[in-house]
Chain A
Amino acid sequence: KMATSSGRCSVEPPLFGPHTGHDPIKALYPMVNEEETPLPRCWSSKDKYSFIGLTQNNLRVHYKGHGKNHKDAASVRATNPIPAACGLYYYEVKIVSKGRDGYMGIGLSSQGVNMNRLPGWDKNSFGYHGDDGHSFCSSGSGHPYGPTFTTGDVIGCGINLIDNVCFYTKNGHYLGVAFTDLPPQLYPTVGLQTPGEVVDANFGQAPFVFDIGEMMRESQCRVRTTIQNFPVPDTYGQWQTMLHRMVSTYLVHHGYCATAEAFARSTSQDFDEELTSIKNRQKIQKLVLGGRLGEAIETVQQLYPGLLENNHNLLFMLKVRQFIEMVNGTDTEVRGVSRSPSRPPTHESSPSPPCWSNGRTTDPVPGTSSTPPSSSTTSTPVIQQHTSVIQSTKNVISSGQTSASPVTTEELNQRNAQDLRASSPPSATNGTTPVIHLPVPSGSSSSSSSSSSTSSNSSSNMHDSDTEMECMEANSHHLQETNNSLGDTSHSNGFSNGFSKDIDIQDDENEEAMEVENSVGSRKMCGGNPDAIGRMLAFGKEVQHMSQVLRRELGKNDHNKKILQDAFSLLAYNDPWNSPVGWQLDPLQREPVCQSLNSAILESHHLPRRPPLEICVAHTKQLISLMSRSGIGSCAFASVDSLLGSQQ
């Protein structure tokens, strides 16, 4: 069991877009990258014979020819071919009217196949015909296949892109495989031949009559079994050693010091790095993730002299981040002066997420900095309010505020904060609630059962069977759970793990921090302290200067230019947190910085920039997207995240 940390991978394949509940077609085929391979969503108004008419958003097809004989047959293809990454593709056609003779064909065809024909009659064309119930496989003569179909019937056509077979359904009943060895890149196709024939297509925009979801789950189950049963060469336990190695390098890389030690001890391995070095890195990471960039830079310079001096771009990135943290009011430079009851709630961050300290909670502030859900809930109600002072004033005036004195931003901020409160679940520990809802895919915090989203109907393995049950001799049973939300949140694993653990512990310090937290009403730039603002501005100049020097010495660097611009843009808003550039203030943004610094330190010690485990995960994801591009259907059911999630 290992933590997935895709958020740390710089190359993120675009396979797992966030699930949008609004697009049912997309939801059917989550592994399809529609930028590369768009899904069929309606009939093509171009790719059809002239005797075909389309209405109702190109979903209804009617015949408008003479219909004298088979030469008057006409077909239409869908807008796009079926992407292989669908794994299992399905669409349904309802026969609105069988017309004169009911010569309707439903099926699949390749691009370029003659449209003056019914599907199935030509090469690379496949159809099931209503008049005789025959299936036509690239041939003018059909084979007895299923029942005939007519007005009112719903015919489904499915294609299994793993086995490359096509099946049909009639009114929700499975008719069986009709065609095998299908070519790739087929389009949904219907053909009509006599006047009055009208059919409606359902590409997934509405619920299907046939239960395709269950069939998909079966395919998923099959693919998963194949993966899990895939034989690995394990001569002399090399495989096991390699896995241990991957886990331990991962732990070391991210500075999970105590865990790494314990793991190494139980698997009798050595580190490549000294323990003190790991601890040093851990310390630096804590500082960066805590938003205390100034201290972090100092520490690096102290512990790794020459590192930043030789890596100007990295130093620049750190400085820019430091500037942002000053705006945030978290950096040490401004922190001392800004400590006040009005500390910004979501941006006062703990010096480190507790997970880095392997369970020894030092100073966690749950629900504030490092939890993505809380920050995302922040932005939703707030953005509609205002982005700049002027706008906000307008809003308020137009909403009926007759008072001559405009509402101050501070008041608005307070409102925002209240909104935020209101929008979060009514819980005593306000800030912590979102954390509990995080799925926790790593085994390290399996104690927090509330966080794992196991499907309720799964038949799970009996964990205690080994110790309690004499009679349970059969093999173990796999968990059958789907953890869909995993893909969305996996990048914050490290944090959520630590937090859910800390919620259980709830030591004094924690409570103290929360107390402060709850009394906070508003947030201001640099904590609202004029001194700090001055320091921030001075530091800004320093950074700008550095940028100019860098440009002179190293040449133009678009990335540096962009991050500086974004950072300075914060100053343009009175309430930077609710501004279009406010995302920079999200503590989550410390992660890539932390990552780069950590990698640089490791690299300077001739250790890998990224742990093999993460490389392996990234590789796998790349391979899956490659499978998708190469038309290998099983990629649809091989999502790395869901696979890892299923092994909880």
Chain B
Amino acid sequence: MAGGDMFRRVLGKTLGFLGYTVQYGCIAHCAFEYIGEFVACSGPSMEPTITSHDVVFSERLSRHLCRIEKGDIVIAKSPFDPHMNICKRVIGLEGDKICTSGPSDVFKTHQYVPKGHVWLEGDNLRNSTDSRSYGPVPYALIRGRVCLKLWPPHNFGALNQSPTGRIVKRSD
């Protein structure tokens, strides 16, 4: 019957199309989850390294292999709103001693980064809410490490070192 044949052909093509969609959707998920993703940044907290409306590439391998290091710029889920992401620099890892008092304070206060956490600060210290206000951030909230700036084109390439001098020296 002609009607039955056509129905079977359309069904076959639809299922084939769905199969390809599922397969490529899964490959895309694996790429974004395990290789890297593109992130559009907004806000002034990482100036001058990253300005608002820059697009960067954040790679996921370092986070999954637990190889994030001091001085890396990371994208992390905000501790106070899991739907929002924050982009900050890692200043200290677990066990490091962070100086939490300002440069103008007389009495210096220190804090140790607990196990399983990191201390994040923006490069624009004057205009950044970071670990100095909300404390150390669990390592597992980190999504990826920013490794390449993609937009604007005249600033394409790797990102600069920290301009703030706040990164904790190795304590042996």
A binds B: no
